[in-house]
Amino acid sequence: MSTQAETLEFQAEAQQLLQLMVHSIYSNKDVFLRELIANASDALDKLRLEAFRDKDLEVDTSDLHIAIEVDREKRTLTVRDNGIGMSRDDVVGLIGTIAKSGTGELLRKLKESSDAAANELIGQFGVGFYSSFMVADEVTLVTRRAGESTATRWSSAGAGTYTVETVAEAPQGTSVTLHLKPEDAEDHLFDYTDEWKIRQIVQRYSDFITWPIRMEVDSPDGAGGTKREVQTLNSMKALWARSKDEVDEGEYREFYKHISHDWRDPLETVQVKAEGTFEYQALLFLPSHAPADLFARERTRGVQLYVKRVFIMDDCEALLPEYLRFVKGVVDAQDLSLNVSREILQQDRQISLMRRRLTKKVLSAVKAMLDDDAERYRTFWNEFGRAVKEGLLSDPENRDALLDVVSFASTHDPEQLTTLRQYVERMKDGQRHIYYLTGASRQVVESSPHMEAFRAKGYEVLVLTDPIDEMWVDAVPEFDGKPLQSIAKGELDLDTEEEKKSAESERDQQQKDFAAVLAWMTEKLGDEVRQVRLTSRLTTSPACLVGESSDLTPTMEKIYRAMGHEVPPTKRILELNPAHPLVAGLRKAHEERGDDAELSEVVELLYGTAFLAEGGELADPARFTRLLADRLASTL
């Protein structure tokens, strides 16, 4: 007997995904069973954890398992578990609606791709249940949540609507029954009631599932005949508890795909085993590509936490720092409480020790890639470098290890990145600083007037264009005893002692010749700049703006204001190239005409061009444009 039956429509994006599954053009349809088993495994994990935490929950956890049942006559396949189950609201919310960020991206990738691997994207966004419609004309789900007395039946033919009704009796857990489509070899649609095919799929994708996956099969009876008996199809061996010699790379890859819902192979596998006073095992993976939400504010991160093989939580953030949020894997501790909470984890000394060790192992794996496999390291850095650099700010304990693995663009090579170690090895004789310049893009940085002297003298400059670069450079004073120096801050000192000596008299004369015009310009621009002075850092540009060593850069000022902080504008220094015709002409005109109104406008334009050259935004662009047009007109 059932009550409260109603027919509902799928959410729009769910309908699109459903249609892709119903009319699937992808060849590897076997993954539907992997997804259903993964969902069942999650449900069993959650039930055991809930039973530990809620002693009043009346559930039997003595024989948690997954069962696969086939009916060859009716052509149905059922995947059944006795896990946590779902309430009616859970069913409507989880299956009728895809409430996941990134669903649009998933649909785009699915539509664009037609190769066998593409359909494995279905698991990436937590919607693996829909893959059932690749092989079934109709799907029926019956579920009862642990602790509830009534169950829910859900069914759909994948045509845009589904039916939900309350059922009086059903076992605890969830069963999903697929009414299978006819076998079609051309469409890679196999007979999924075939025992051999089911065994093959389970052993390929789900052998490491920690719960028994059982199925009734024919087996020899010892008298020349056969008998029906229930067999466990998977080995249930936790990969993290086995030595590397016992596991092949294929098993690691499938396990990674199972826990990450990623369809690509991992870039690197990191195995950790700690023994002694505090024992734990870990199996971590570095993905080969960044998730869509790597820099999203609302995202899940962290690795799976087990205690004595008992699943505790799916996203334990306390085990790895924020900048390693892309790492996937499992940590199994022997000595934690099964009732551990997220709040306790943040304060737990053992968790803190595990976090330190796991962080060092991950960074060590990245360093090994850098040393031994440059191509894989480049892949890793292109995908995750921006996130890793956050650690230079947030993780002073591992800063030295991070500085050994970070890479940057530089003027040494327009294509290849460089490490700090490689930069230091190429430093010129007598060079004391590691030079860098931050900016919005490589083009902006390379066209900056600040680069002129460095280019002329052959000094390498790091090109830092990520927003995080503006922040970490102030937190990292040096590398390998070499101070980091922004070429847009402070006085420039690139000349050798011999060059300084030979140019000393000329510079002294320039200081005398320009003293009056510099003082006048400093007064005129007093609201904008701290000082106007001569420079040796320019070779072709007339002027540039520089800051003192402790000043915030203009980009940092913008970042702070965007975060809602009150930041007073920083007055910078306008440096002039005394050899430039415009600057030399301005000095001569000032000697002849003094405080002339037209000269004041030229000074304003000179400051504005220096401001624009570094990518700044003028406070009054209309006035600048008018002054520039007037000056140009006066020359015709």
Which pLDDT score, from 0 to 100, does residue 75 have?
Answer: 96
Q: How many angstroms separate the CA atoms of 160 and 21, rounded?
A: 12
Alpha helices of 96-179 — where are they, by DSSP H?
A: 103-112
Q: Is there a contact between 109 and 125 (Cβ–Cβ < 8 Å)?
A: no
Q: What tokens were used for 7?
A: 């027919």
State the CB neighbour count (10 A cutoff) for residue 580.
17
DSSP code for 467: T
Please list, residue by residue across 352-380, b when 16 or more beta carbons sit within 10 angstroms of its beta carbon and e when fewer do.
Answer: eebbeebbeebbebbeebbeeeeebbbbb
CA–CA separation, 53 vs 55, rounded Å?
6
Pairing of strands 434-438, 462-464: parallel
The 8-class DSSP code of residue 143 comes to E
Helices 621-635 and 597-613 pack at an angle, to 10 degrees, of 120
Nearest to 189 by CA among 29, 391, 401: 29
Contacts of 557 (CB under 8 A, 6+ apart): 567, 569, 570
Alpha-carbon gap, residue 317 to 315, rounded angstroms:
6
**Rounded distance, CA 411 to CA 317, Å?**
38
Is 364 labeled as ligand-binding?
Answer: no
Given this model, what pLDDT does residue 565 score? 78
286 DSSP β-pair partners: 268
Report whether 474 belongs to an annotated binding site.
Answer: no
CA separation for the pair 168, 153 (Å, rounded): 10
222 is known to lie in a ligand binding site: no
Q: Is 302 left (phi over 0), alpha (psi -120 to 50) or beta?
A: left
CA distance 512 to 358: 62
pLDDT given for residue 102 in this prediction: 44
Distance CA 564, CA 553 (A): 17
- Strands (DSSP E) contained in 467-514 are 478-479, 482-486
Q: Do 2 and 165 form a contact (C-beta atoms < 8 A)? A: yes
Cα angle, residue 142 at apex, residues 139 and 145 outer, rounded to 5°: 140
Query: pLDDT value at position 104?
Result: 54
**CB-CB contact of 311 with 259 (8 Å):** no
- By CB atoms closer than 10 A (0-12, 13-18, 19+), residue 267 is buried
Give the rounded distance of the alpha carbon of 115 from its chain centre: 25
Per-residue model confidence (pLDDT) at position 531: 92
102 is in an annotated binding site: yes
d(CA 253, CA 263): 10
Confidence at residue 101, expressed as pLDDT on a 0 to 100 scale = 38
158 is in an annotated binding site: no
| Residues 143, 173: Cα–Cα separation, whole Å | 6
**Residue 114 counted as an annotated binding residue:** no
Cβ pair 6, 163 in contact under 8 A:
yes
pLDDT (0 to 100) of residue 34: 84
Does 81 belong to an annotated binding site? Answer: yes
Cα–Cα dist 534/517, whole Å? 11
pLDDT of 161: 85
Determine the pLDDT at residue 299.
Answer: 72
Residue 16, phi-psi category: left (phi > 0), alpha (psi -120 to 50), beta (remainder): alpha
Question: Binding site annotation covers 7?
Answer: no
Long-range contacts of 557-561 (CB under 8 A, 24+ apart): 559/467, 559/470, 559/471
Write out residues in the chain with pLDDT < 50, as ranges: 1, 99-102, 114-126
75 is in an annotated binding site: no
State the residue for tokens 């007093």: 526
Long-range contact list for 392-396, CB < 8 A, 24+ apart? 392/472, 392/475, 392/476, 393/468, 393/471, 393/472, 393/475, 394/321, 394/322, 394/323, 395/321, 395/323, 395/359, 396/475
416 labelled ligand-binding? no
119 is known to lie in a ligand binding site: no
| Beta-ladder partners of 184 | 189
CA distances from 193 to 183, 229, 453 (A): 10, 16, 75
Structure tokens at 532: 């106007």
Q: What is the model's pTM? A: 0.71
Cβ contact 79:70 at 8 Å: no
User: β-pairing, 462-464 with 478-479?
Assistant: unpaired
Look at residue 416 in the predicted model and tell me its pLDDT.
Answer: 94
Instruction: Count other Cβ atoms within 10 Å, centred on residue 503.
Output: 13
What domains does the chain contain, in order, with CATH numbers?
14-232 (3.30.565.10), 249-385 (3.30.230.80), 406-486 (3.40.50.11260), 497-635 (1.20.120.790)
Regarding beta strands 303-307 and 328-333, do their DSSP bridges make them parallel or antiparallel, or are they unpaired? parallel
Cα angle 107-111-117, degrees, rounded to a multiple of 5 = 95
Give the pair of three-digit tokens for residue 147. Answer: 């602790």
Determine the pLDDT at residue 91.
87
Q: Which two tokens stand for residue 530?
A: 């701290």
Question: Which is nearest to 31 in space by CA: 190, 173, 162?
Answer: 190
Residue 147 annotated in ligand binding: no
Instruction: Return the axis-axis angle of helices 249-260 and 195-205, rounded to nearest 10°.
Output: 90
